[in-house]
Amino acid sequence: MEYKDFFEKVSGFLKQAEIHKRRGNNDFNPYLEMWSGSNEVKLHSALICGFLNPLGNHYQGDVFLETFLESVGLKAWFGDTSNAEVYKEYFVQTGNQEGRIDIYITNNDKHIIIENKIWAGDQDRQIERYIEKIAKEQSRDSSDTESGESKTKQINKAYENIAVLYLTPDGLEPSKYSLGKWEIQGDYLVDKQGNQVRFKAISYKDEILKWIKKSQAKVGCITNLNAALLFYKDVVQIITNKKENTMSIENFLTDNKDNNMQENMGIVFEILKKRGSILDKYYNEVMGKYKKEIEENGFEIVKANIDDKKDEWGWSGIWYPYTIKPKDCGENYIGFGIQCNKKQYISSNLCVRLFGKYTDCQKYRNEYNKITEYLGIEMNGWWLKDRHTDEIETLENELKKFLDSIGEIKALNKKLKDYQG
C-alpha cells in the first residue's frame, strides 16, 4: 500500500468517527472539562473523598465508604464506619517538614492513610512521616507525667491500628525513598524494631473500578449519583487505558477483516521508527512560522541537542528540543517549552514555565516559593497555572496563546531580572 492510499484511508476513517461522535458517541466528560485526568488533588482525591465521607452531600451515609473498604480488603479490620471521618489533604508536620495526606480515614480506633500517586513522584520519607504523625496523634492523650519509655510503647502500639493504601493507576509500590525506615513485607510495613503497619498497593484499574461498580449497584436508582459515578468511571478507564472505543484509531488499524492489518502496521512501524525526525520537522515548521513575531517581541528560539541539560532537577530522561526564551534575561526566566521524553522522543508537555537555577520545586523549595511569591503568580510545579498541556497537536494554538500573553510574560521576566533571592 502506498503512503498516499494509507493516509487517505485514515483520513476517511477519522471523518466517519467525527460523524459518529456527533450522533451521540462522544467523549464529553464534565470532570475532564474542568481538570486534567491526571490531576491527583482537585479531581481524584476530591471526588473519592467526597464519596467516602459519610457526612457528604450525597446523603447516603457510609454506603460508599463501606463498599470502598470491602473493595480494598479492609472492611473487617476497620470495623464501624457509621461515625467515620474522612479528610482530604490532611495537614502533617514532623519537625520542620510539612506535608498533606491525600485522603485520611478514621473512626478514632483505626486509621487509613491513602497516598494518591498518578504522575507525581515520591517525596523524601513521605510515607514514614505520615505514619509517625498519625501514631503520635493516637498517643498524644498520654499523661505528661508518663516516662518517655511508656510513650514510646504507646506509639509502637498505635502502629497496629494504622493502614497505608498506596494508590496508583497500575498498583505500583512506593519507593524506599518514600518509605524511609519501613520495609514492605507481604501485607505489612515493618521497621527494624518489628513494628507493623498494614499495607496494600492498590490501583485505579482494579480496586477503584471495582469500588465504582459496587457503588453503582447500591445507588443506581439515584440518577445524579449514578451519573457522577459513571463519569468518574470514564475518567479512571481513560487514565488506565481501559476505555473501550469501537471508533478508535487503534481498532481501525488492527482490524484484519480485509486482511489489511499487516500492511497498515508496516506503515505505522515505519512512521514510529522515524518519529524523531518527523516531530523535529513539525516543531521546526511551526516555530519557523512564528519566528519573526517571536523575535520582534524580544524573544528567541533555542534548539537544543538531546544531551543538553536544561534543569537541575535530574530527570535525565526529559529534555526540551525547543524553547522560546527572552533575549535579555537573568539567571531565571519564564519561557515557552516543548518537553519531550528522550528515549522515545514523545512530547510529554507543551508549557509556559519557569526555567533556570531554581526550577526544581522540591530540591529548591524555599527559593522556588520565594520566586513565586515575589512574582505574585500561581504555579503548578514549575509551570504557570493552567499553562501546560500534553496534547502535542495543539502546538500552534499554544504558541499563539503564548504570543497573545507576551506582554504579561515580558513583565514577569523584567521582575525576574531584578530578583536578588
Digit-by-digit pLDDT tens for the chain (421 residues) are: 566 676 676 677 666 666 655 655 566 677 777 777 667 667 899 999 999 999 999 999 999 999 999 999 999 999 999 999 999 999 888 777 788 899 999 999 999 999 999 877 788 889 999 999 999 888 765 444 455 556 667 777 889 999 999 999 989 999 898 999 999 999 999 999 999 999 999 999 999 999 999 999 999 889 889 899 988 898 898 888 776 655 566 666 776 666 677 777 887 788 778 888 888 888 999 999 999 999 999 999 999 876 665 444 444 567 788 999 999 888 889 999 988 876 555 656 788 988 887 655 556 667 777 888 888 888 776 778 777 787 778 899 999 999 999 999 999 999 988 886 6
- The verdict on 118 and 188 lying in the same domain is yes
Q: Would 201 be classed as within a structural domain?
A: yes
Q: How far apart are the C-alpha atoms of 18 and 238, rounded to whole Å? A: 19
- For the chain, report the end-to-end CA distance as a whole number of angstroms: 61
Residue 75 φ/ψ, nearest 5 degrees: -60, -50
Is position 228 within any domain? no
End of a domain among 257, 272, 287?
272
Kindly state whether residue 378 falls inside one of the protein's structural domains.
yes
Q: Are residues 109 and 10 in the same domain?
A: no
Cell readout for 406 is 507576551
Residue 240 forms part of a structural domain: no
Cα separation, 322 vs 337, whole angstroms: 6
Same domain, yes or no: 376 and 394:
yes
| In-domain check, residue 390 | yes
Pair 294, 375 in one domain = yes
Query: Is 320 found in the same domain as 252?
Result: no
**What's the CA gap between 204 and 171, in Å, rounded?**
8
Residues 179 and 107 in one domain: yes
User: Maximum CA pair distance of the chain?
Assistant: 85
Q: Are residues 115 and 174 in contact, defined by beta-carbon separation less than 8 angstroms? A: yes
CB 381 within 8 A of CB 342: no
Provide the grid cell at 302: 533555542
Tell me the residue range of the domain where 200 lies. 40-207
Whether 235 is in a domain gets the answer no
Give me the half-sphere count of Cα atoms (radius 13 Å) on the Cβ side of residue 251.
9
**Would residue 283 count as lying in a domain?**
yes
Q: Residues 116, 141: one domain? A: yes
Contact 119, 38 (CB under 8 A): yes
Residue 326 CB-density burial (10 A; 0-12 exposed, 13-18 middle, 19+ buried):
buried
Q: Are residues 201 and 264 in the same domain?
A: no
Both 9 and 133 in one domain: the answer is no
User: Per the domain annotation, does 15 fall within a domain?
Assistant: yes
Q: Are residues 358 and 257 in the same domain?
A: no
Query: Into how many domains does the chain fold?
Result: 3
